[in-house]
Structure 1
């Protein structure tokens, strides 16, 4: 059911060339290629270009020449104790290491040919010659949050995009999604997911940003009177950038004509969505769906079925979408974990009326900021709930509630149900897909 559907932010078009992440000779050669493009972040906020005369925006894709003043001294990968020194290629704890300068991640190669032109690692004995054989666009990303703001602004003002008249600015990432097409959304999700690792000790990057290692493992580290770092042995010698799984689910009643939606206390005004929650240790996806539906809405669910997944880099989540069956006549309770302000059943006609309304799934930058604060933690007052019962659009064309857009998996789950792209109870196993599902 889920294999044929790709959510917004999923389906990255890049060949990640994972077997070449350890080769600093390859990376130092490809990073200076004239075809290479960069995605710039500032504390996780992407650089967005507003184009003159067209009222459109897009992810700013910069050249290496554009960003070089921000990257620090060469070599960019395979750095050693002294600045400018290349480390030996056969030292595992220094494979494509970057121990100074802003964090850089090699994202992969957009191949020019559908059949793929990426070369195996054995063909990179002469990295410069091999890079010349690559057909496509290499992508890197860098986060400049720790650099001088004046220097960042100076570099941005001198990019080719700025010289061509585009206005470049770092935007809140959720709001920036409206500037992305399906293609760049997948690259953006991969890039942003790499800048939110959690580690309590100093680390340095390996494999072009894909692995982090303890600085006590460096050959020149002063470890006098210290016990060896446990991360230097066994299978746990690296800390990978984190990914936190989240179940997100839409409960459908047994008739198939009603859907349960909830409203978090800090949601923007009139906003309702599918329910969601983090997977807990020792818990299956199905167990998490049952637990979260009960904790948030006091609803018992069964007949749980997977729909699709979506990478959600805010900061490092994998959203796993499900449908489940529930009894719409049973009481709803939001007083168990007190996370929701309200939860209620909506009919198909009510949801379709919102989907057809021009503002039904549209959100302002302020709305996106409020949604971000739910996860990021500022102690703001809960949004006022002005939601009315029923969902008929009134005579003033005012919406009684709003729902997520199809750029979020919650919006996809709601929309696919409302438009009849999934059937409920069509066979003994639960959901039967139709259309493109």
Structure 2
């Protein structure tokens, strides 16, 4: 495609200000701004608000005052051995560090439409005056799974939203997706992946010591490297050598693809053994070490369905925060007359070719545009998932795909 499609949970509106993550002076100043908002999680479940007098739900956007009982008193970043003491800027092991309290993640700044984006770091030499000039809202997230349940419940009940009559609930994240608009879906994707990474990584991969938070939740350091650490009779942690082997957040790439037959009128869909009844989707799989995205498409199509593909074309990508995947969407060409095999990796219960008319009928049924009380013959993903987008765009002929010389002209015509 000449221009990638922006999927749900992509297209973040935040300026992440990544060069300012090490600056605890900036972060400590911006965190107390009245415009700052927080996304709260409990074991990866976001706090969702049901608003009085409506059927609508949304992410519960809390103020710093709301979360103070949960995150503790300042300094929030650049903490030292003694509580209340703030580190000097010249100690790398304490750059925006939190050595006590739940990990706080700085997500970024949503600037007003009139603001210039990607502000240069020279504008932030004086963090306090810079914060006063900021035109927008900063976002932070925190997961309270390790805190006392009664303490969490009391804090939630005492938030401004709860006092205004909203019902606040920690909701299963996939169910919460239906409550999100496009803007907050992208912020949610970043926040959930980051709090999950911090919650699941508690120990140094080099020596097994506990880790602590650096760079406002974007880096983990070994506690043996703290200036006050007692390392008597122990070998230095390998993470302290050279450039320091700190742990950084990870993203796991997953290819997800539709095989289109040479006529351009059929696509291959599969049914995973874990899927609910009659649900079919695009095939997908993790990219393995030493593999390009295109290599992964070929391998996964063969392993799952015994199908050889060629003319692999990129469509778009989608962050998928369960916990930290990046779905990379492709179309490919295949021979629909060749046999299908699901006995290689035994991941699929079934795989079959569907015609354009069959898929369009399911789409019309899902949208309620056909007068039919019966169930559709099969179900497909919603357009909030990239699999649903790939299927819908093919069925409706949306988007032009660049094809190699060997590809069918009929396929090319289907996307004009």
Q: How does 1:411-422 map to 2 (within 5 A)?
A: 411-422=388-399
- 8 Å contact 1:42–1:143 — kept in the other structure? yes
* Partner residue in 1 for 2:312: 304
Aligned-partner Cα distance in 1 for 2:105–2:55: 31
TM-score with structure 1 length normalisation? 0.88
* Partner residue in 2 for 1:116: 116
Structure 1 residues 425 and 18 mapped into 2: Cα distance closer, same or farther (>3 Å)?
Answer: closer
Is residue 177 from structure 1 mapped to residue 165 from structure 2 by the alignment? no
- Compute the RMSD of aligned alpha carbons: 2.1
Structure 1 residues 149 and 433 mapped into 2: Cα distance closer, same or farther (>3 Å)?
Answer: farther
Q: Which secondary structure state, in structure 2, belongs to the residue aligned with residue 261 of structure 1?
A: strand
Aligned-partner Cα distance in 2 for 1:290–1:119: 42
Following superposition, the deviation at residue 123 of structure 1 comes to 3.3
Listed one character per residue, the Cα deviations across residues 374-418 of structure 1 (whole Å, up to 9, x for unaligned) are xxxxxxxxxxxxxxxxxxx99751122111111111111000000
- 8 Å contact 1:2–1:307 — kept in the other structure? no
Q: For structure 2, which runs of at least 5 residues remain unmatched after alignment? A: 205-209
Is residue 403 from structure 1 mapped to residue 380 from structure 2 by the alignment? yes
* Partner residue in 1 for 2:66: 66
* Partner residue in 2 for 1:192: 192
Match of 1:337 among 337, 341, 345: 345
Listed one character per residue, the Cα deviations across residues 333-375 of structure 1 (whole Å, up to 9, x for unaligned) are 1110000111111111111111111379xxxxxxxxxxxxxxx
- 8 Å contact 2:311–2:403 — kept in the other structure? no
- 8 Å contact 1:205–1:211 — kept in the other structure? yes
Q: How does 1:128-143 map to 2 (within 5 A)?
A: 128-143=128-143
Is residue 288 from structure 1 mapped to residue 265 from structure 2 by the alignment? no
Q: How does 1:326-365 map to 2 (within 5 A)?
A: 326-358=334-366
Following superposition, the deviation at residue 97 of structure 1 comes to 0.3
Aligned-partner Cα distance in 1 for 2:241–2:334: 48
TM-score with structure 2 length normalisation? 0.92
Following superposition, the deviation at residue 4 of structure 1 comes to 3.6
- 8 Å contact 2:80–2:87 — kept in the other structure? yes
Match of 1:257 among 262, 265, 268: 265
* Partner residue in 2 for 1:241: 249
Q: For structure 1, which runs of at least 5 residues remain unmatched after alignment? A: 361-392
Aligned-partner Cα distance in 1 for 2:44–2:402: 43
Aligned-partner Cα distance in 2 for 1:66–1:137: 16
